[in-house]
Amino acid sequence: MATVKLDKKNLFIQEQTLASNWGIGLTDASNTLKATTQSFIRNALHPIERRYRTKNVTLKYNQLKCRFYSDTFFSSVKSSLQNTCGQLFVTDFGYSKFTPMQSKSEAGFALKELIQDVGIPKDLHTDGAKELTMGTWKKVCQDAGIKTTQTEKNSPWQNRTEVEIRELKRHARRLMSRSRPPLQLWDFCCQYTVELRNRIARPLPQLHGRTPYEVLTGNTPDISEFLEFSWFQPVWYYEPSAFPEQNRYIARWIGVPHRVGQAMCFWILPISGTPIARTTVQAIEKLELETIEVKSKLVAYDKAIEEKFETNSESSNVYLPLYREDEEPEDIEQEPMDNDATAIIIDEISNDAYDELLHVKPILHQDGEMLRAKITGRKRDENGNPIGRYNSNPMLNSRIYLAEFPDGHIQELSTNTIVEAVYIIK
């Protein structure tokens, strides 16, 4: 039997000891102790007989003094990287972190990635899904000292992530509707969209005119990597080759990798259809795009990509196939949200800015045949202004669209004609 008496003062570094160890004055030492924390102090009372524990997550990564919300959403299309879902983390001031996953069981590893890339949340609020309360997820929370809370059953509006998922899908759809990429690239588009939203000075009272990235990290974000290219833009990239072969090739820009290469390294989609990361990437100028040589290369590239993702060639439309596992895709965005959750709805999309009929491919009559056409744009007047006004009721929608047939013929169509046509939608 033995008795050991401990004095609490001996378990912490005092100002006298700190002043001596650091070579500073007592006043500076006292102020330093007030402005810092001492979460983990080791005080060996006995001779060392075994190794200290080396695993200490909480001192290795940043401590975030805010609450994060998280939820999983799914895709009906498997991505080019075999991802079927994604884990989204969001704060109440709009900062988001998106991690694509091959299955929902990888949610715990997505939480590890959040800790490594961003930091350790003070609190984490999720629903009652097993993958978000047990297994790897639970162990990571215990190791990092994260306080976890859950929503009430059948009350999704208590999770702010539901709102951000909706806004993320709206933003990503706008980007994909302009370029009509294969839907198998949805994970790259979502990743890129989240990074953009973190760097947008949104009109939220919590941001005070700054960006979510700055509010979370305290650092003003640099947007250099996101200025030169738009998503799925045609680009040139350099690839070493033997003389006299060409050393630049056509591709499309699909994002910024943060775990490959150094600064100004980009994800591109070459003609092989397999995404690669390259630093030497150059935008194709508009004048160059009008040349016959570049046009033919781009047509050959698009055809090869369409064949590569042939399961999606007949379903190119503006809709991202994303939904939550506990809902039907057609019921997306219909759930109620409380006042606090709706505070992060900041993208008011005008009907002129987002037109769901553009780029769809209806089957129409032409010279007694049923041919697939493509809606390429809206008819405009002599001043370049679109003709007609939008209305959610097709009978009252006065817009006039332009449909292009395979032979190059352009035909004007009313909204009713398009709506009544047969769509090939996945």
Q: What is the CATH number of the domain that holds 250?
A: 2.30.30.140
Distance CA 131, CA 109 (A): 11
- Judge whether 292 lies within some domain: yes
| CB 281, CB 233: distance < 8 Å | no
- Judge whether 213 lies within some domain: yes
- Judge whether 230 lies within some domain: yes
Instruction: Provide the domain count of the chain.
Output: 4
* Helix/strand/coil percent split, the chain, to 5: 30, 20, 45
Average pLDDT, stretch 375-390?
77
Residue 18 has pLDDT above 90, yes or no: no
Kindly state whether residues 77 and 19 are assigned to the same domain: no
| CB 183, CB 79: distance < 8 Å | no
- Judge whether 329 lies within some domain: no
Kindly state whether residues 238 and 307 are assigned to the same domain: yes
Kindly state whether residues 82 and 204 are assigned to the same domain: yes
Distance CA 13, CA 10 (A): 7
Average pLDDT, stretch 126-136?
91
pLDDT 10s digits, 38-63: 766 666 667 777 776 666 666 778 88
Distance CA 172, CA 318 (A): 9
The crossing angle, in degrees rounded to 10, of helices 186-197 and 161-179 is: 120
Kindly state whether residues 208 and 286 are assigned to the same domain: no
- What single letter denotes the amino acid at residue 92? D
pLDDT 10s digits, 314-327: 444 444 555 555 55
Angle at 373 between CA 292 and CA 185, to 5 degrees: 70
Distance CA 180, CA 232 (A): 9
Kindly state whether residues 115 and 170 are assigned to the same domain: yes
Kindly state whether residues 67 and 98 are assigned to the same domain: yes
* Residue located via tokens 């760097």: 199
Q: Lowest-pLDDT range, 13-22, 260-269, 412-421?
A: 412-421
- Judge whether 85 lies within some domain: yes
Q: Which of 187, 217, 247 represents a domain boundary (last residue)? A: 217
> What one-character DSSP code corresponds to residue 380?
B
Q: Lowest-pLDDT range, 99-113, 123-137, 233-247?
A: 233-247
The residue range of the domain holding 417 is 362-423
- Judge whether 346 lies within some domain: no
Average pLDDT, stretch 229-249?
86
DSSP 60-78: HSPEEEEEEEEEEEEESS-
Kindly state whether residues 272 and 370 are assigned to the same domain: no
Q: Which residues pair with 124 in a beta bridge?
A: 68, 148
Mean of the per-residue pLDDT values of the chain: 80
Kindly state whether residues 67 and 181 are assigned to the same domain: yes
Kindly state whether residues 70 and 28 are assigned to the same domain: no
Distance CA 163, CA 71 (A): 11
pLDDT 10s digits, 327-351: 544 444 444 444 444 333 434 434 4
Kindly state whether residues 184 and 307 are assigned to the same domain: no
Kindly state whether residues 31 and 152 are assigned to the same domain: no
DSSP 274-341: --EEES-EEEPPHHHHTSHHHHHHHHHHHHHHHHHTGGGTT--SS---EE-TTS-GGGTT-S---TTG
Kindly state whether residues 97 and 150 are assigned to the same domain: yes
The crossing angle, in degrees rounded to 10, of helices 107-117 and 135-144 is: 30
Q: Lowest-pLDDT range, 5-14, 90-99, 130-139, 256-265?
A: 5-14
